[in-house]
Amino acid sequence: MAYQNLISEIKENILYITINREKALNALNKDTLAELADVIAFAGKNDEVRGVILTGAGEKAFVAGADIKEFSDYNGKQGEDLAKRGHELVFNAIENSSKPFIAAINGFALGGGLELAMACHIRIASDHAKLGLPEVTLGLIPGYGGTQRLTQLVGKGRAIEMITTANMITASDAEKIGLVNYVVPQPDLISKAEEMLNVIKKRAPLAVSAAIKSVIAAVNNNNGYATEIEEFGKCFETADFKEGVNAFVEKRKANFSGK
């Protein structure tokens, strides 16, 4: 897949997506969002892809937010459309993807950048990363799901503090409040994400998707218990359920087909 603002490649069933606008600190302009929408849809459909690692080019920024220069003359309707399109095509599309997404936060994750990381299923941060939602410094609020996903991840009190002060926090503080799963030295960032996906890759793919879907249903007030019951039932119809049980009985490792 050839993109202008992204580098994407598949290696050993992992799709690596690197947002590649290093000079603008990987800020999300319209073109980058459109390319992200495309590659996210591709990840969902492609059987070779068993997990995704999303990161930013360079060592300074993961993503420094939406491209401020692009929306500087927007009116209310344009602002609302910008947020709505982003939610549907990128942020919700990641969260609802059948593939696990890990954000490898290699530097500043601000505004739409932190929102992008929060849409991913797991976050790993480099020890020099800084995270924040600085929108109120621009007279805005987070518009790519940040008010909701930050609240889900860290609770109402800390979310309101981070959003209303606009203060950035360190990776280590982000780990303490549950905003990121792990903090590692920068050189180990991608390998830590690979280590996690390599474990997930050994598990039954449809069960992994069903588990993510059920957890997401819990945090999105989407009838989580009913979703879990339905997804649990569907697992029994899969070939991988039979393989998993047979492998257990035969005392061997399961060889899952994703069917």
Q: Which of 115, 175, 194, 231 is catalytic?
A: 115
- Kindly tell me which residue out of 134, 149, 159, 213 binds ligand HXC, with binding defined by CB under 6 A: 134
Stretch that binds ligand HXC, among 11-19, 65-73, 199-207, 233-241 (CB under 6 A): 65-73
- Kindly tell me which residue out of 49, 110, 150, 210 binds ligand HXC, with binding defined by CB under 6 A: 110
56 binds ligand HXC (CB under 6 A): no
Q: Is 237 an active-site residue?
A: no
Query: Smallest distance from the beta carbon of 25 to ligand HXC, in angstroms?
Result: 4
54 binds ligand HXC (CB under 6 A): no
Cβ proximity to ligand HXC: between 15 and 83 the closer is 83
DSSP 126-137: ETT-EEE--GGG
105 binds ligand HXC (CB under 6 A): no
User: Which residue type is seen at 186?
Assistant: Q
Q: Is 175 an active-site residue?
A: no
Query: Smallest distance from the beta carbon of 101 to ligand HXC, in angstroms?
Result: 19
Q: How far apart are the C-alpha atoms of 5 and 205, rounded to whole Å?
A: 30
- By three-state DSSP, how is residue 211 classified? helix
- Total number of residues that touch ligand HXC (CB under 6 A): 22
Q: How far apart are the C-alpha atoms of 5 and 33, rounded to whole Å?
A: 9
Contact 126, 184 (CB under 8 A): yes
83 binds ligand HXC (CB under 6 A): yes
**How far is CA 55 from each of CA 28, 109, 136, 139, 212, rounded to the nearest angstrom?**
13, 10, 25, 28, 21
145 binds ligand HXC (CB under 6 A): no
User: Closest Cα partner for 102 from 36, 154, 180, 162?
Assistant: 180
User: Closest Cα partner for 120 from 142, 140, 148, 90?
Assistant: 90
User: Closest Cα partner for 29 from 59, 60, 58, 4?
Assistant: 4
User: Closest Cα partner for 137 from 68, 62, 60, 84?
Assistant: 68
51 binds ligand HXC (CB under 6 A): no
Cβ proximity to ligand HXC: between 56 and 143 the closer is 143
Instruction: Pull the structure tokens for residue 231.
Output: 């997804």
Cβ proximity to ligand HXC: between 31 and 228 the closer is 31
86 binds ligand HXC (CB under 6 A): yes
Q: How far apart are the C-alpha atoms of 99 and 235, rounded to whole Å?
A: 16
Q: Which of 95, 135, 175, 231 is catalytic?
A: 135
Place of tokens 């059920």: 214
Cβ proximity to ligand HXC: between 49 and 125 the closer is 125
**Which residues in this chain contact ligand HXC in the complex, by CB under 6 A?**
24-25, 27, 64-69, 82-83, 86, 108, 110-112, 134-135, 138, 142-144
Please identify every residue annotated as catalytic. 115, 135
